[in-house]
Structure 1
Amino acid sequence: MRHYVEQRSREWFELRIGRVTSTRLKTVAHGTLAAQTKLLDEMQWEVDHREEAIDKSMEGFGYKTPASIKLGKEREDWLIARYQIIRQKQWGKPVKIDQPGFVVHPTIPEFASTPDWLLPDRSCEGKTRVDHTKHEFAIKRGLLPEDKDQVYCQMMTGGFALADYVSYCPDYPDLCARIVIVEVELDLIYSNFLYAELNRFLKHFRAGTRPTVPQGHSGVPNFFD
């Protein structure tokens, strides 16, 4: 389900309550037992204290926002317009942009994402860089590992098999390489892994339980209890 709300608005923060979004998916899939338990506690606290949770999120956003996110927000409209022009030239047809702001998985209501924009056949994530090293990685090798779960979260919640990962570095020395578009194809093996970890995590969230560590395997999460 697509919600047409402004990102980082009060309504947007409210929609995030009690849901696994891209940043949380990393903890669900790759985090330690302690991190996953902490996340379960945080999500339950949000549900129990909705208004306070929204207020804290809105208050914290202003002073915790990295420079790259602030720059990205300032140049978002320009980047989307430029991306649209590039893709229209490449594909030889009009490109329709949709910006819902928040997308909830059709069958898993606690799973959601915030894509920067959507096309009819793919999700799109734009990264405005202040770090040349990360932009060069995108140019040479494609999707940065640190952004993989975010892009997959958007594809999975939106029901897409494709995503465009757009890296933009406004002061990159090579003018022709300041924008790079990486087409990402959904890897079913990896998405199935994410779904499995997500479902095990949500089993505990819905039941109000916490994962345990089997004897002899201290520190290793066990979601099969």
Structure 2
Amino acid sequence: MRILDIEQGSQAWYAARLGVPTASEFGSIITPKKGEYAAAADTYINQLIDELMRPEAAESFGGNRHTLRGKELEPDAREYYAFEQDVVPQQVGFILNDAGTLGCSPDSLIGADGGLEIKCPDGPTHVKWVRAGGIPDEHKPQVHGSLIITGRAWWDFLSYCPGYEPLLVRVTPDGFTEKLQGHLDRFVREYHAARAKFLPGVA
């Protein structure tokens, strides 16, 4: 993996992500329940090509109330995790896989083997996730994708909502990871073939 030392949300971060399939969007490539190649993959290819063709249109410095809530509470969640796990989370900007074909923006890397994904949902969503147990389906592709991109041995998923006990789930590579890897390989091939029609000079 290659770590880019840039601030998440900065101009440099947006520039580094342009046209790169990122773990946060892997739900468009694999269905979390059945692990099948998602119908939305083709739409995601169109989006990535448009990012490269019109970079100015791809930037979005706003965010809805859920993303803004996450930005406000994430430092508290990271501090809680650091204390409970007795670790020093390493904040990074953007990570590319060895081939440079996939990327992710982890909330933290943990030691030499782990990573951390933090979500700060509203109360009802947190309750739903706690009741269900395990990692929420909607975030499985992102977490397993981060494992693939970084080659790390495990990834912790933390749901943090003030007023509740946090939900902490450790995820390790499994059959879902293998399915995702296969779908990512297919996606990258199809994406690069489609991209060549618009940007023939881009490998």
TM-score class, shorter: 0.7 to 0.9
Matches of 1:84 and 1:103 in 2, distance apart? 21
Please give the root-mean-square deviation of Cα atoms over the aligned residues, in Å: 2.1
> What pairs up with 1:207-218 in 2 under 5 angstroms?
207-208=193-194
1:150 aligned to which of 142, 147, 168: 142
Stretch of structure 1 that moved more, 143-152 or 71-80: 71-80
Matches of 1:185 and 1:170 in 2, distance apart? 27
- For the 8 Å contact 2:27–2:138, the answer to whether it is kept is no
2:51 aligned to which of 46, 55, 64: 46
Given the alignment of the two structures, is residue 115 of structure 1 paired with residue 106 of structure 2, yes or no? yes
Larger Rg: 1
Distance 1:140 1:47, change over 3 A: closer
Distance 1:133 1:43, change over 3 A: closer
Given the alignment of the two structures, is residue 37 of structure 1 paired with residue 29 of structure 2, yes or no? no
AA of the residue aligned to 1:182: V
> What pairs up with 1:95-174 in 2 under 5 angstroms?
95-107=87-99, 109-120=100-111, 121-138=113-130, 141-172=133-164
Q: What is the Cα deviation at residue 7 of structure 1?
A: 1.3
Q: What is the Cα deviation at residue 106 of structure 1?
A: 1.6
Q: Secondary structure at the match of 1:110?
A: coil
Q: Spell out, residue by residue over 1:36-60, the C-alpha distance to the aligned partner (whole angstroms, 9 max, x if none).
A: 32322222232233xxx2x3233x3
Match of 2:76 in 1: 78
Q: How many residues align?
A: 188
Match of 1:68 in 2: 66
What is the TM-score of this pair, normalised by structure 1?
0.76
Matches of 1:170 and 1:209 in 2, distance apart? 44
Matches of 1:72 and 1:43 in 2, distance apart? 25
What is the TM-score of this pair, normalised by structure 2?
0.83
AA of the residue aligned to 1:42: Q
- For the 8 Å contact 1:135–1:167, the answer to whether it is kept is no
AA of the residue aligned to 1:43: L
Matches of 1:81 and 1:97 in 2, distance apart? 9
Match of 2:201 in 1: none
Share of identical aligned residues, percent?
26
Q: What is the Cα deviation at residue 140 of structure 1?
A: 5.3
Match of 2:172 in 1: 185
Q: What is the Cα deviation at residue 137 of structure 1?
A: 2.2
**Unpaired runs of 5+ in structure 2?**
32-37, 197-203
Matches of 1:207 and 1:140 in 2, distance apart? 40
**Unpaired runs of 5+ in structure 1?**
89-94, 211-225
AA of the residue aligned to 2:135: L
Q: What is the Cα deviation at residue 71 of structure 1?
A: 1.4
Q: Which has the higher helix share?
A: 1
Matches of 1:204 and 1:140 in 2, distance apart? 35
AA of the residue aligned to 1:26: G
AA of the residue aligned to 2:84: I
Q: Spell out, residue by residue over 1:117-145, the C-alpha distance to the aligned partner (whole angstroms, 9 max, x if none).
A: 11022110111121334345236512111
